[in-house]
C-alpha cells in the first residue's frame, strides 16, 4: 500500500473513532456479530423511509445523488453507515487487494449501503442487480481468497440483491461504459498480460500465488511442502489441466527458486512466471494452453524464505547513510554476497542433501550395483537436516518428476550434474553422469534461448565459459557434495540443472523487467523440453499398470522406474536405442527404437510383461550388495530422527486462515485484521474464513 493510501486509511480510522457508536444494531437488520452477541433489538415503531442526498465520501460516484434511510442493511442515517465496518472495508479495499477489482467492489458495496431512492408513490429503495453481484463475485472471489478474507456478508447476492424481473439498478453499468470507451480508443492488436515487476515480501509472495491459483482455479492450485525453521510456508503453485493429481503419461516438471536466500532474482522470475501462465492461459495463448494441458508444472518460488528475510534486511541496512559512513565498500559487498545465503540454522541447503554421489563413486566398478534410485544411508538421518531440505526430499519422492531447474545467482551459466568431483582431491574435474548428452542438450536449451547467456561476448562475473557457450559440468566448475541436483539424479528419475542467472544476486528493482525479458523464453523452452525422448506404459497381461518397473537403455547406465499406474518418461536425444522393460516377477522385454532429430513430441513405447517364477536371491549376494534392492529405497527417516530433533509443525491447508472450528477470538488473524480490530466497533469476524 502506498503512502497516500495508508494516510487515507488513518483518516478514516480517526473519523470513525470520533463518532458516537452504540451497541444496538441498525433497525431492521443485524450483521453476524451483533446477532451472535444478542445486540439485535426490534424497534417499537417502524421508522418512516426518507430520501436524502448521499453525501458519503467513498460513494459519491454512483451515477445518482439521492439514497434512502433506513437502507437495505437497516442503517438509519449517514452517520451509522460511516461508523460501521462495512463502510470501513469499502474505504480500504483497494489497498488490501492491491488495486485488483477496483473500483468495482467499492461501487457494488456502496449500492447496498446507499441504494438509489425512488420517490413515487412513496420513498422506496431500488436494490442492486443480482447478476452484477454474481459476475463480480465470480471474477473477484480469488482476490479475497488471496488475502485469506471471506466474501463480505453484505455482498450476499441472494440476500441483498434483486433480479432483473423484480426491477434493479446495475451499479457497474456506468463503469463498464467508461471502460468500453477507453478500450475503443486504444490501438492494441491483442490483449496482453500485465505484471507488476517489483520485489515481493514473503507475505506478498504468498498472496500473489494464492490469488493466481484462485483466478485460474480450473488449471491451478497452491499447496504447502512444509515449513521453514521460522515457521514460514514453503508454498508451491501447480499448473495442470487436472490440478491436484497425476495424469497418466503427463510429465511433471518443477522449478525451484531462492534456495540461497540472498539469490533473489530466480524467486521473482518464478512469481512472474506463475502470473504469466495463468493470465496467458485465460487470454487464449495457444502455446501456454498446450504446455499446461500436456504438462504438470510445479513452481516453488522460495525454498528459503527465512534467508530471504535476512538478505532483505541486509540490503536495507546497507542503504542506511549512517551505516555507510562506518562500513567500507568491500565489507558491504562481502555481506551482500553471503548474508541470507543459508537458512535460519546457518545451513547451506545446497550442501544439506544426502551425498549419494560418493556412494556411487565407491561402488561404480561393481557390475551389479545400481546407479539409480540409490537409497538414503541411515547415517544421514543422524546429522543436522534442515526442515526445508526434509520437505523438498519428501516432495521429490512423492511426485514422479521428470525434469527440474534450480534458479541461483552469482554467475551467468547453466551447470549440470555431477556437481561432486569423481576424484576427492580434484576440485575442478569433469565428472559426467551416464546422461551427459541429455544433460548437455537440456542446458543448451536454456542457454540458447536466454538473451545473452550463450553469447561469448557477454561480460561474465569472474569465471570464463567462452569455450562452453554458457554451459558447464558442475564438478568441472567447482566441486561440492550434498547438492540437490545430484540427489535428484541418483535418488529419482528426475534430471535437474542449475541456472545461474547473473552476477548480481539481488539486482536493483529497475532490472527485474529486463531480466524477465531475458529469461521468459528460456523458461518456456526448458519446460517444453520435457516432451523429448520416449514415454509409455508398462502393463501386465491383465492390462494393469506395473508400478516400479525399470526402463533401461543400452549404453546408458541409469534406469528410470514407472510411476503408480505404470507410466514412465525417458529423456533421450535423437538416435537409435535398445530399450528394455523389466520388473520383479515378470519377463524382460526389449525394443529397438529410433528418435528422429526434429521429433516434436516424445515417442510412445509401451511394454507388456508376462509373469514368471521368481528365482530366490542367494544370501551371499544380499550381504554383498545390500543397496542393490529397491526394498531399502522406501526407508525414509527410519528412526524418526528428524521429528525427534524438532521438525516444525505441519502447515494448515493453504488459504484456510487458521484451524477450522477454532474460537474466532483465539484464531490466528491475517495481516489485515488490525485495520478493523482498532476501529471502535465489534470486530467483524464475518471477514475471517472458516468461522
Residue 623: pLDDT band with limits 50, 70, 90: very low
Q: Are residues 370 and 462 in the same domain?
A: yes
Q: What is the DSSP string of 62-129?
A: SS--EEEES-TT---SHHHHHTSHHHHHHHHHHHHTTTTTTTHHHHHHHHHHS-BEE-SSS-EE-PBB
Can 411 be counted among the known catalytic residues? no
Give the domain CATH number at 288. Answer: 3.40.630.10
Q: Are residues 539 and 466 in the same domain?
A: no
Residue after which a domain boundary falls, among 614, 647, 662: 614
pLDDT of residue 691: 58
Contacts of 133 (CB under 8 A, 6+ apart): 108, 155, 157, 161
Q: Are residues 86 and 42 in the same domain?
A: yes
C-alpha cell at 486: 545430484
Q: Is residue 448 part of a domain?
A: yes
pLDDT of residue 412: 93
Is a pLDDT exceeding 80 seen at residue 329?
no
pLDDT of residue 254: 98
pLDDT of residue 21: 37
Number of Cβ atoms within 10 Å of the Cβ of 550: 20
Is a pLDDT exceeding 60 seen at residue 620?
no
pLDDT of residue 47: 76
Specify whether the CB–CB gap between 13 and 89 falls below 8 A: no
pLDDT of residue 666: 52
Domain that holds residue 343: 202-528
pLDDT cut 70: percent of the chain above it: 80
Q: Are residues 323 and 459 in the same domain?
A: yes
Q: Are residues 523 and 542 in the same domain?
A: no
Please identify which residue in the block is written with the cell numbers 528418435: 595
pLDDT of residue 307: 96
Is a pLDDT exceeding 90 seen at residue 480?
yes
Q: Are residues 487 and 569 in the same domain?
A: no
User: What does the alpha-carbon distance between residue 19 and residue 23 come to, in Å, rounded to a whole number?
Assistant: 13
State the total domains in the chain.
Answer: 3
Q: Is residue 19 part of a domain?
A: yes
First to last CA, the chain: 27
Q: Which of 33, 82, 86, 500 is catalytic?
A: 500
Residue after which a domain boundary falls, among 583, 614, 645: 614
Counting other chains too, the contacts that 196-202 makes at CB distance below 8 Å and 24 or more residues apart are 197/268, 197/272, 197/509, 197/512, 197/513, 197/516, 198/509, 198/512, 199/264, 199/268, 199/312, 199/509, 199/512, 200/268, 200/271, 201/312, 202/232, 202/302, 202/305, 202/308, 202/309
Residue that wins the pLDDT comparison between 45 and 312: 312
C-alpha cell at 440: 548437455
pLDDT of residue 175: 86
Q: Is residue 652 part of a domain?
A: no
Residue in 218, 100, 220, 107 with CA at minimum distance from that of residue 169: 107
Q: Are residues 303 and 449 in the same domain?
A: yes
Give the domain CATH number at 70. Answer: 1.10.2000.10
Q: Is residue 677 part of a domain?
A: no
Helix (H) or strand (E) holding 300: strand 296-300
User: What does the alpha-carbon distance between residue 50 and residue 54 come to, in Å, rounded to a whole number?
Assistant: 12
Q: What does pTM read for this prediction?
A: 0.72
Residue 89: pLDDT band with limits 50, 70, 90: very high
pLDDT of residue 53: 93
Specify whether the CB–CB gap between 491 and 406 falls below 8 A: no
Is a pLDDT exceeding 80 seen at residue 258?
yes
Is a pLDDT exceeding 90 seen at residue 618?
no
Half-sphere exposure at residue 221, Cβ-oriented, CA atoms within 13 angstroms: 12
What single DSSP character describes residue 594? E
Q: Are residues 159 and 259 in the same domain?
A: no
What single DSSP character describes residue 690? T
Among 8-17, 472-481, 504-513, the range scoring the smallest mean pLDDT is 8-17
SS (H, E, C) 551-583: EEECCEEEEEECCCCCEEEECCCCEEEEEEEEC
Q: Is residue 672 part of a domain?
A: no
pLDDT single digits (tens) 430-464 = 999 999 999 999 999 999 999 999 887 666 676 66
User: What does the alpha-carbon distance between residue 149 and residue 688 come to, in Å, rounded to a whole number?
Assistant: 6
Which residues are registered as beta bridge partners of 387?
A: none
Q: Is residue 655 part of a domain?
A: no
Among 75-79, 268-272, 298-302, 543-547, the range scoring the smallest mean pLDDT is 75-79
Mean pLDDT of 577-600: 94
pLDDT of residue 18: 42
Q: Are residues 150 and 269 in the same domain?
A: no
Q: Is residue 494 part of a domain?
A: yes
The three-class DSSP label of residue 224 is strand
Q: Is residue 396 part of a domain?
A: yes
pLDDT cut 90: percent of the chain above it: 60
Q: Are residues 130 and 208 in the same domain?
A: no
- Mean pLDDT, all residues of the chain: 84
Residue after which a domain boundary falls, among 614, 641, 672: 614
Q: Are residues 442 and 363 in the same domain?
A: yes
Give the domain CATH number at 599. Answer: 2.60.40.1120
Residue 647: pLDDT band with limits 50, 70, 90: low
User: What does the alpha-carbon distance between residue 468 and residue 454 come to, in Å, rounded to a whole number?
Assistant: 8
Of the ranges 114-128, 206-220, 244-258, 463-477, the best mean pLDDT one: 244-258
Q: Are residues 210 and 87 in the same domain?
A: no
What single DSSP character describes residue 40? -
Helix (H) or strand (E) holding 592: strand 589-595
* Cα dihedral 477/481/484/486 (nearest 10): 80
Amino acid at each position: 500500500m502506498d503512502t497516500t493510501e495508508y494516510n487515507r486509511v488513518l483518516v478514516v480510522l480517526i473519523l470513525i473513532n470520533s463518532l458516537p457508536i452504540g451497541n444496538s444494531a441498525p433497525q431492521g437488520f443485524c450483521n453476524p456479530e451483533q446477532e451472535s452477541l444478542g445486540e439485535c433489538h426490534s424497534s417499537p415503531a417502524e421508522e418512516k423511509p426518507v430520501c436524502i442526498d448521499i453525501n458519503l465520501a467513498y460513494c459519491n460516484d454512483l451515477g445518482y445523488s439521492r439514497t434512502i434511510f433506513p437502507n437495505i442493511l437497516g442503517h438509519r442515517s449517514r452517520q451509522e453507515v460511516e461508523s460501521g465496518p462495512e463502510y470501513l472495508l469499502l474505504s480500504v479495499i483497494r489497498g488490501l487487494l492491491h488495486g485488483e477489482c477496483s473500483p468495482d467492489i467499492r461501487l457494488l458495496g456502496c449500492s447496498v449501503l446507499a441504494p438509489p431512492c425512488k420517490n413515487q408513490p412513496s420513498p422506496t429503495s431500488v436494490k442492486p442487480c443480482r447478476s452484477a453481484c454474481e459476475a463480480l463475485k465470480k471474477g473477484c472471489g480469488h482476490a479475497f481468497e488471496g488475502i485469506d478474507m471471506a466474501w463480505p456478508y453484505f455482498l450476499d447476492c441472494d440476500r441483498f440483491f434483486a433480479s432483473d424481473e423484480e426491477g434493479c439498478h446495475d451499479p457497474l453499468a456506468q463503469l463498464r461504459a467508461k471502460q468500453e470507451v477507453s478500450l475503443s480508443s486504444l490501438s492494441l492488436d491483442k490483449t496482453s498480460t500485465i505484471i507488476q515487476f517489483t520485489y515481493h515480501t514473503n507475505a506478498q509472495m504468498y498472496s500473489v500465488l494464492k490469488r493466481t491459483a484462485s483466478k485460474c482455479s480450473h488449471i491451478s492450485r497452491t499447496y504447502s511442502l512444509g515449513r521453514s525453521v521460522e515457521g514460514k510456508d514453503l508454498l508451491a503453485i501447480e499448473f495442470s489441466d487436472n490440478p491436484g493429481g497425476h495424469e497418466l503419461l503427463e510429465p511433471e516438471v518443477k522449478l525451484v527458486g531462492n534456495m540461497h536466500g540472498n539469490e533473489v532474482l530466480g524467486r521473482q522470475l518464478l512469481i512472474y512466471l506463475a502470473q504469466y501462465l495463468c493470465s496467458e492461459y485465460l487470454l487464449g495463448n495457444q502455446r501456454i494452453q498446450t504446455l499446461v494441458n500436456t504438462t504438470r508444472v510445479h513452481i516453488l518460488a522460495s525454498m528459503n524464505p527465512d534467508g530471504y528475510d535476512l538478505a532483505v534486511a541486509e540490503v536495507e541496512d546497507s542503504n542506511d547513510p549512517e551505516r555507510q559512513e562506518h562500513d567500507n565498500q568491500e565489507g558491504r559487498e562481502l555481506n551482500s554476497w553471503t548474508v541470507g545465503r543459508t537458512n535460519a540454522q546457518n545451513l547451506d541447503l545446497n550442501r544439506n542433501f544426502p551425498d549419494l554421489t560418493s556412494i556411487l563413486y565407491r561402488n561404480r566398478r561393481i557390475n551389479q550395483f545400481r546407479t539409480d534410485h540409490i537409497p538414503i544411508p541411515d547415517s544421514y538421518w543422524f546429522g543436522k537436516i534442515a526442515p526445508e531440505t526434509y520437505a523438498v526430499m519428501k516432495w521429490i519422492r512423492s511426485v514422479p518428476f521428470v525434469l527440474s531447474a534450480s534458479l541461483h545467482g552469482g554467475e551467468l551459466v547453466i551447470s549440470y550434474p555431477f556437481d561432486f568431483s569423481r576424484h576427492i582431491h580434484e576440485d575442478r574435474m569433469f565428472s559426467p553422469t551416464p546422461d551427459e548428452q541429455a544433460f548437455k542438450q537440456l542446458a543448451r536449451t536454456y542457454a540458447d534461448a536466454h538473451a545473452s547467456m550463450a553469447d561469448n561476448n557477454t561480460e561474465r562475473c569472474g569465471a570464463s565459459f567462452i569455450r562452453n557457450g554458457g554451459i558447464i559440468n558442475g564438478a568441472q566448475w567447482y566441486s561440492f557434495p550434498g547438492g540437490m541436483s545430484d540427489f535428484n539424479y541418483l535418488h529419482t528419475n528426475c534430471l535437474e540443472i542449475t541456472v545461474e542467472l547473473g552476477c548480481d544476486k539481488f539486482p536493483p528493482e529497475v532490472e527485474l523487467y529486463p531480466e524477465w525479458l531475458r529469461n521468459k523464453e528460456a523458461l518456456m523452452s526448458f519446460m517444453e523440453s520435457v516432451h523429448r525422448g520416449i514415454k509409455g506404459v508398462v502393463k501386465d497381461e491383465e492390462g494393469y499398470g506395473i508400478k516400479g518397473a525399470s526402463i533401461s537403455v543400452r549404453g546408458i547406465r541409469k534406469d528410470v522406474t514407472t510411476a503408480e499406474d505404470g507410466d514412465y518418461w525417458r529423456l533421450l536425444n535423437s538416435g537409435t536405442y535398445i530399450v528394455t522393460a523389466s520388473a520383479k516377477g515378470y519377463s524382460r522385454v526389449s525394443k529397438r527404437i529410433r528418435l528422429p532429430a526434429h521429433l516434436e513430441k516424445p515417442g510412445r513405447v509401451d511394454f507388456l510383461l508376462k509373469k514368471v517364477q521368481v528365482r530366490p536371491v542367494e544370501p551371499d549376494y544380499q550381504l554383498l550388495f545390500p543397496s542393490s534392492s529397491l526394498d531399502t529405497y522406501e526407508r525414509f527417516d527410519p528412526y524418526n530422527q528428524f521429528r525427534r530433533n524438532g521438525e516444525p509443525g505441519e502447515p494448515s491447508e493453504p488459504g484456510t486462515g487458521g484451524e477450522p472450528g477454532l474460537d474466532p477470538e483465539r484464531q490466528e488473524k491475517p495481516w489485515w485484521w488490525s485495520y478493523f480490530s482498532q476501529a471502535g466497533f465489534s470486530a467483524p469476524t464475518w471477514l475471517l474464513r472458516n468461522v
